[in-house]
Amino acid sequence: MGRAPMAWRLSVTLSVSAARGHPSAEGTASPGGRRRHRIAFGAMPTIVTLPGDGIGPEIMAPALELLRTISEEFSFEEHVFGGAAIDVHGTALTDETLAACKQADAVLLAAVGGPRWDTTDPGAPRPEQGLLGLRKGMGLFANLRPVRPVPALYDASPLKRERIEGTDLLVVRELTGGIYFGKKTRTARSASDLCEYSVDEVDRIARVAFDAARTRRKKVASVDKANVLETSRQWREVVHIVHRAKYNDIELTDVLVDNCAMQLVARPSEFDVIVTENLFGDILSDEAAMITGSIGMLPSASLGEGGVGSNTPGLFEPVHGSAPDIAGTGTANPLAMFLSVAMMLRHGLGWESEAAAVESAVDRALDAGLRTRDLGGEATTAEATRAVIDNLDG
């Protein structure tokens, strides 16, 4: 299996983690350097799978086929989640599912949500509550979303080729604070959502961003709304404190969120690492995803304290949603799911060579002309899956 080109490779270690490849009390390293996350010698890695809603089950099945092609060592444990769990259990995330995820070596999620469960009733369960609860319950505070257009897909981007060439950015989004987790109120005449961040929450996500930048072009854009919001003024102050204390080798720039949204379209190649709070990161990362030509191409990793070898398993999922409009048609693009598998192999299990092989296979399939409908082609989910698997040993 060959090593992947830089189009999909991402190297980042949380500041609190041990260096990759150094055995810990709960990890082992093979002679080839493959580190196994929290797995006893000889044991199979346990991966909890959450197919979720919409196209979720349709892209989870190919992901498992891909993993079984890579190795027979995996043990899979499936749980209903999101809207599917609401239908069965009346809640998007059961205690049993959360416990299983916390005990796993990694968690692989496909998609969550859909109009079937949309409601304005504040007391009604919603699929997205499961995702928020999972991140909070597992202590996953850092979301990593790499964005680098593949040359074969330059013409699929809504932006001109000359505008996106050279783009290679990473969005580091804080996941467990901010307005999504603040106190919520609603009366007949008003509603409110509290946006709140502690100094420690900002400090730790800033360190993740700076550490990531050290493996890249050493540039961090910290995105806030400090001209209006007090939480953003604190954010900016803490980020600068962290920068002065340990990261003077990194170029730090403050960018207002509205300006960042504009610059992502006008000059995306100028960005290296973007770090921001939960709400801003949610929006900006989806905007950045379209630079690649389709949100169906972007993977993500959500990590907690410790990284590979720690007691906190990571959550790996594609950026796209559940796409209920194409569910059941067999046309969903599985490539973001495959690239999320690669991130899981690298950041969740420490299987670097296998991760690189998956990324290489995706690149080769695209270079050979693979295009699903969202990329302007006609390939089905099954055809895309076969194209990637056939290129695993290419």
pLDDT tens digits for 301-334?
999 986 555 568 999 999 888 999 999 999 999 9
The answer to whether residues 121 and 220 belong to one domain is no
The answer to whether residues 244 and 197 belong to one domain is yes
The answer to whether residues 117 and 196 belong to one domain is no
CATH number at residue 260: 3.40.718.10
Q: What's the pLDDT at 10?
A: 47
Active site residues: 180, 225, 258, 282, 286
Q: What's the pLDDT at 31?
A: 28
The answer to whether residues 130 and 226 belong to one domain is no
User: Is 169 inside a domain boundary?
Assistant: yes
Greater confidence, 23 or 335? Answer: 335
Share of the chain above pLDDT 70, in %: 87
Query: Domain boundary at 256, 277, 292, which?
Result: 292
Average pLDDT over all residues of the chain: 88
Q: Is the pLDDT of residue 362 over 60?
A: yes
The answer to whether residues 181 and 283 belong to one domain is yes
The answer to whether residues 221 and 258 touch, using CB atoms and an 8 Å cutoff, is no
Task: Tell me which residue range forms the domain holding 206.
Answer: 158-292
Q: What's the pLDDT at 222?
A: 98
The SS3 call for residue 127 is helix
Q: What's the pLDDT at 311?
A: 67
Could you give the dihedral angle defined by the CA atoms of residues 327, 303, 384 and 265, in that order, rounded to the nearest 10 degrees? 80
How many independent structural domains does the chain possess? 2
User: Is 345 inside a domain boundary?
Assistant: yes
Q: Is the pLDDT of residue 35 over 90?
A: no
The answer to whether residues 201 and 177 touch, using CB atoms and an 8 Å cutoff, is yes
Amino acid at the residue 316: F
Query: Domain boundary at 268, 292, 316, which?
Result: 292
Give the Cα separation of 312 and 177 in Å (integer): 18
Q: What's the pLDDT at 39?
A: 42
Closest to 155 (Cα-Cα) out of 302, 9, 307, 371: 371
> For 36-46, what is the mean pLDDT?
57
Query: Domain boundary at 232, 260, 292, which?
Result: 292
The answer to whether residues 337 and 382 belong to one domain is yes
pLDDT in tens, 213-236: 999 999 999 999 999 999 999 999
The answer to whether residues 241 and 139 touch, using CB atoms and an 8 Å cutoff, is no
List CB contacts of 90: < 8 A, sequence separation 6 or more: 125
Q: What's the pLDDT at 306?
A: 67
User: Is 20 inside a domain boundary?
Assistant: no
